[in-house]
Amino acid sequence: MNILFDFYHNLGWPLSLLVIATFVLAGTVKGVIGLGLPTVAMGLLGLAMAPSQAAALLIIPSTVTNLWQLAFGGHLRGLLQRLWPMLLAIFIGTGVGTLWIDMAESHWVVRGLGGALLLYALSGLCLPTLRVGSRTETWLGPICGIITGIITSATGVFVIPAVPYLQALGLSNDELVQAQGVSFTVSTLALAAGLLWRGSLGGGELGASLLALIPAVLGMWLGQWLRQRISAVLFRRVFFIGLGALGGHLLISG
């Protein structure tokens, strides 16, 4: 039982409270707009701890909530048949990035995290609706997967360019939500494998990540409740503006 709490004991109460508040907020964002849990978690926790620590904490909350997301919709088999080249490329890109980049030791990783968050925010606010044709999809999907994997291994953020790419495929809303769940699940498992290989994901980190699942799930329930009562479009805009400000701060301060 102590292994579940040792990580937080070493962090101290202020940082432990930050972790709890961060995962409640991240889960709420995911509950409202269907994505954002690892992005918010990495951004906020990156202010106070090493990106490798933050990435280790999000493994179980991200995996469970993404499996929850991809389990519903009825399109899983068709999406896997269509997206498997991109998904395989995400795993390969993350592996290559893990061999090349050490998230725990590189000071510029924090700036890379800030850059990834800022780029994602700008794409969400400014990028027009794009469309990818079937011929383009055959080669663009794997390229986006490789780039997403490398960014994942460096920053723990796995939305660029995977999310804009999926949004450009012309999927229905249900298909898009489920496709994002599949992509995020593969990215999370690939990130976990990389952290394990680097020695940044042990029993203490997994125990701490398991406990972080509780505020994340509470946040998702809160987000789903809020989704029925607020404008998802307005919430999404505010989310991207806040994420952009956070990314800019990390990019400048490092």
- Please report the pLDDT score of residue 254 as a whole number: 60
Q: How far apart, in whole angstroms, are the C-alpha atoms of residue 188 and residue 180?
A: 12
Question: Between residues 52 and 86, which one has the greater pLDDT?
Answer: 86
- Report the pLDDT averaged over residues 141-155: 92
pLDDT in tens, 171-206: 888 888 899 889 999 999 999 999 998 888 888 888
- Dihedral of alpha carbons 250, 239, 65, 149, sign: negative
State how far Cα 163 lies from the chain centre.
Answer: 10
Q: Which residues contact 89 (CB under 8 A, 6 or more apart)?
A: 141, 142, 143, 144, 145, 146, 148, 149
What share of residues in the chain are helix, strand, coil (percent, to 5)? 80, 0, 20
- Report the pLDDT averaged over residues 1-15: 68
As a whole number, the mean pLDDT across the chain is: 85
- Please report the pLDDT score of residue 25 as a whole number: 92
- Report the pLDDT averaged over residues 23-47: 87
Among residues 153, 156, 205, 188, which one has the least CA distance to residue 70?
Answer: 188
- Please report the pLDDT score of residue 130 as a whole number: 76
- Please report the pLDDT score of residue 103 as a whole number: 65
Alpha helices (runs of H) in 34-75, residue ranges in sequence order: 37-45, 51-70
Q: How far apart, in whole angstroms, are the C-alpha atoms of residue 92 and residue 86?
A: 10
Q: What is the DSSP letter of 83?
A: H
Question: Between residues 108 and 95, which one has the greater pLDDT?
Answer: 95
CB 58 within 8 A of CB 38: yes
pLDDT in tens, 106-139: 567 778 888 888 888 888 888 777 788 878 999 9
C-alpha R_g of the chain? 17
- Please report the pLDDT score of residue 92 as a whole number: 95
- Please report the pLDDT score of residue 94 as a whole number: 93
> What are the CA-CA distances from residue 169 to residues 58, 132, 147, 172, 205 (Å)?
28, 5, 18, 9, 36
The pTM of the whole model exceeds 0.75: yes
**Residue 159 belongs to domain spanning:** 2-253
- Please report the pLDDT score of residue 2 as a whole number: 55
- Is pLDDT above 70 for 52? yes
Count of residues making up the chain: 254
- Please report the pLDDT score of residue 186 as a whole number: 94
Among residues 107, 197, 108, 192, which one has the least CA distance to residue 156?
Answer: 192
3-state secondary structure of 132: coil
Among residues 62, 86, 76, 72, which one has the least CA distance to residue 185?
Answer: 62
- Please report the pLDDT score of residue 227 as a whole number: 81
HSE of 4 in the Cβ direction (CA atoms, 13 Å)?
A: 6
Q: What's the number of domains the chain is made of?
A: 1
